[in-house]
Structure 1
Amino acid sequence: MVLLLIALALLFSGCASTDRWQAEEHKAKEVTSCKVHFREEKDFSFFRIEANRKVDYRVFTMKNPSRVVLDLFCQDVKVSTGPIRVGKHPWGTRIVYQAHVKKIREEIVSSEPFILEIKVERQTEKLPEEEKPLRVKVPAFSVRGIKKEAKGYWIETSCDEFFRAVEDGQVLYAGNDLKSYGWVLIVKHKDGYMSVYTYASDLLVKRRGEAVKKNQPLGKVGRRDESCGILYELRFPDGSPVKFELER
């Protein structure tokens, strides 16, 4: 669910202003392309592609009948047909179709179902997490304990504590659409990394695009199970988790 919010935040932050593929994060060394057939039930739809046995999710949205914004990269996509998943999310029903390999071109066709052929780029550079874990220092607030979890760290504090920004950045998402996670805050940093704070009981910054400074109070910690605190995760620009070490 948190990945869903990250994907939406990425979409709104940079892709909503253009209907052309932007490849700022991945340099063009080898190029392939995908053809995507899709049908929208609500405002948002999801699809998946299979690249080298790895399932990769991306999000797109339709602004009007002639404009579709898509964030996608893939390589060696397997050819298959038909819907692969129908699921429920807070924004409505998702009908998911697999990608098809096609010749390199970019075109948006206004028909139902929509057909989109778009140039995509192969990811060829090693991710930083393959080299060495990043080290992130806990901001200046009272910490009772730190517990490493699958994708981040649970930072335990007193129940009246306010958590702070680990670095300068800009708000991508602030909301509580996923009730079981409390208030969720996603902050994008200048190097492209994203900080994700979940289980907050309230937020002090709630406007998308709002600038935050290192050590700035961002909100009040929440309760999970028998302790109060905040769950902190660090993400790559594409939303995948970063392996990092949290230091006091």
Structure 2
Amino acid sequence: MLFANLQCKNLMKIRDLIVTAFALLLLSGCASDSFHYQNGGGSSSSNNTQVSSIPKSGYYRVKKGDTLFSIAFRYGIDYRKLAQTNRIPSPYVIYPQQKIRLKVSSNTTKIANSSPKVQTKKPVASIKKPSQVVKRVTKPKVNPPTKNISKSTIPNKSTLNWRWPIKGFVVRGFSNAGVSSKGIDIKSNIGKPVRAAEDGVVVYSGNGLIGYGNLVIVKHSEEYLSAYAYNQSILVKEQQVVKAGDSLAIIGGKGEERPLLHFEIRRDGQPIDPLTVLPDQ
């Protein structure tokens, strides 16, 4: 009889342990669901956009399709400081295989707005002999420049009135820590156009920056750039002047997160939280 009572008590203890373990599993599942909801229903690795670390060499070799703006954007550098350090005058012409120094100088002296020097013939004040021949100078062959952004096309505005690039809701917010998001992710509808958040000029249009897919970068002023990533297709070209609300691309996405737009704003090369300047929806 005593043995039977002990056996019964042991069975009750085992039952209680099973019930407790099952309850803990349910609570764990709820906590996990709550975490995913706060992060927009996606995993924490869904957004890999980040400012790249400067390589140990301190230099970057220009590739076809690069612009000075895209290189500065990749490494979170003010394009003006990058141009100054490398003695690249406006309109910031760069060439394939050109070596760009990424460790910029702290001196912020403005670069003179001048075009690259081109050899020209010297004017002749008076020619005494009609038979005199001016010797032609043969220009050395150089690789064609990648992209040329003319400063004259930059809109001149004293203040910027930002607008949302697309209607939707934010599923991932801004964070400036570690490799976290350098912008916001906006969920919208399939086929919707991505629009310019302000007047500006397109300074990059392509897919050469890892982690951004089809990317458009627009320059709005000397200080501000905006970026539109993960597009399904791009509708604009570099050097194209755009107005606020103009269509730049068609919304795309990354992985299973579609349709989704990744939107960034950079001030002096550094990411800022777009929600601090965008109006309420």
TM-score w.r.t. the length of structure 1 is: 0.48
Higher helix content, 1 or 2: 2
